């Protein structure tokens, strides 16, 4: 298989398995999505989805959010982990949105990355999922799978993102990054991985990854 054929196999397989790609984090607008994505760092989407309703019940926009103190925000979001950093970020970015952006989430990558506690991945998710602007947010699943599929060298998430954007057509990025996440969770997890269930890695995977798996199994 050529690299182009491998890429096409990945696209076709994911499209068959996941024709629909609902956004995993519950939200109602760009602001609530931004907060949910920020909260999801080193946590699970499922856990975030149990906590965001409690927070959004008190404040689902920046104007109400800054009426809460950082401590009040932290008490609500504690179960998602890293709450000291996240609560400061939520309060700080809400303040900046009011002062600089008329209370609106900017449709601009650089402006998003300037907000407290908002990194490149969070900004990319918001661009893709809130504004439908092509981006390729790389999370741990995508980083792992791009390496397993021999489509990236696994050196850094920055490199993985570059490779993904180079290999996959731009018009597919927003859907594809979600399809890969769903596939990673279901068929190609980091722990408890069964190669026999993982059709993509079995077909196009990196030889050393497959050999290593078979050695461990033997």
Q: Which residues are catalytic?
A: 121, 139
Burial of 104 from C-beta contacts in 10 A (0-12 / 13-18 / 19+):
middle
Write phi, then psi, for 137 (nearest 5 degrees). -65, 130
Non-local (6+) Cβ contacts of 142 within 8 A are 136, 160, 164, 177, 180, 181, 184
Q: What is the DSSP letter of 139?
A: -
Alpha helices in the chain (DSSP H): 3-17, 30-39, 45-58, 62-65, 70-77, 83-101, 109-113, 120-129, 140-148, 157-167, 173-186, 199-204, 207-217
Task: For 24-62, give the DSSP string.
Answer: SS--SSHHHHHHHHHHTTTS-HHHHHHHHHHHHHH-SSH
**Alpha carbon distance 64, 87 (integer Å):** 14
**Alpha carbon distance 159, 74 (integer Å):** 34
């Amino acid at each position: 298989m050529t690299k182009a054929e491998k890429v096409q196999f990945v696209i076709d397989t994911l499209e068959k398995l996941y024709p629909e790609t609902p956004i995993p984090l519950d939200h109602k607008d760009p602001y609530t999505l931004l907060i949910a994505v920020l909260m999801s760092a080193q946590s699970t989407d499922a856990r975030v989805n149990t906590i965001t309703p409690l927070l959004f019940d008190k404040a689902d926009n920046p104007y109400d959010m800054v009426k809460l103190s950082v401590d009040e925000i932290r008490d609500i979001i504690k179960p998602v982990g890293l709450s000291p950093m996240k609560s400061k970020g939520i309060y700080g970015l809400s303040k900046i949105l009011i002062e600089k952006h008329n209370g609106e989430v900017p449709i601009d990558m650089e402006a998003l990355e300037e907000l407290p506690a908002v990194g490149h991945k969070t900004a990319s998710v918001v661009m893709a999922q809130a504004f439908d602007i092509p981006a390729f947010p790389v999370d741990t699943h995508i980083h792992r799978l791009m390496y397993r599929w021999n489509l990236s060298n696994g050196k850094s998430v920055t490199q993985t993102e570059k490779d993904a954007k180079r290999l996959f057509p731009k018009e597919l990025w927003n859907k594809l990054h979600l399809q890969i996440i769903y596939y990673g969770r279901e068929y190609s997890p980091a722990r408890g991985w069964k190669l026999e269930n993982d059709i993509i890695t079995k077909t196009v995977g990196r030889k050393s990854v497959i050999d290593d798996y078979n050695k461990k199994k033997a």
